[in-house]
Amino acid sequence: MGVLARAITYASFFVGFLLVFLPARVLEWSGIRPAPAMALPQIAGIALGCAGALVALSCILTFALVGKGTPAPFDPPRRLVTAGPYRYLRNPMYMGAGLALLGAALYYGSVALLAYVALFMLVAHVFVMWYEEPTLRRLFGPAYESYCLQTGRWWPRKVRRPPPAQSGSA
């Protein structure tokens, strides 16, 4: 199976379970139903959810096309991915997913779903700190270290450019 097909398959399971199935259970357990009419919170929730979904989709495509791998830890990119949304954040896929979930919480006006968003982001942070970053340091060494210095984990930062190389004659 090609890398793009694998990426879409794994991402579908991730999205389907963590971003659709579990949030639907949270809404069901808390008794939340959609608002009877579209108002500003629903429109803002849809916009935020769509923006998050676009970020996450762009991450999946970048992993497959640039990194030659998938978002799944058992089938990671073969190359360090610093293009696309990864130019601005080291973890844009989690941020995209978090934005999509936040959009759903806003749409439904659900505090329970907002708590799920906070738990999702906390688990993502712990996973990044304890598994992803050490693994990427081991796999990509100095290239990953340099990327970390230039790119924020959760918030974009100004890119620090290395000083220009000095010429050999002094």
Range of weakest confidence among 12-16, 42-46, 87-91, 132-136: 12-16
pLDDT of the residue at 160: 56
For residue 8, give the H/E element and its range: helix 3-14
Report CA-CA distances (Å) from 43 to 40, 98, 103: 5, 17, 9
Average pLDDT, the chain: 87
Confidence of residue 128 (pLDDT cuts 50, 70, 90): very high
Tens digit of pLDDT for each residue in 153-165? 999 987 555 544 4
Domain locations in the chain as residue ranges:
3-150
pTM of the model: 0.83
Tens digit of pLDDT for each residue in 54-74? 999 999 999 889 988 888 878
Distance, in Å, from the CA atom of 137 to the CA atom of 148, rounded to the nearest integer, reads: 10
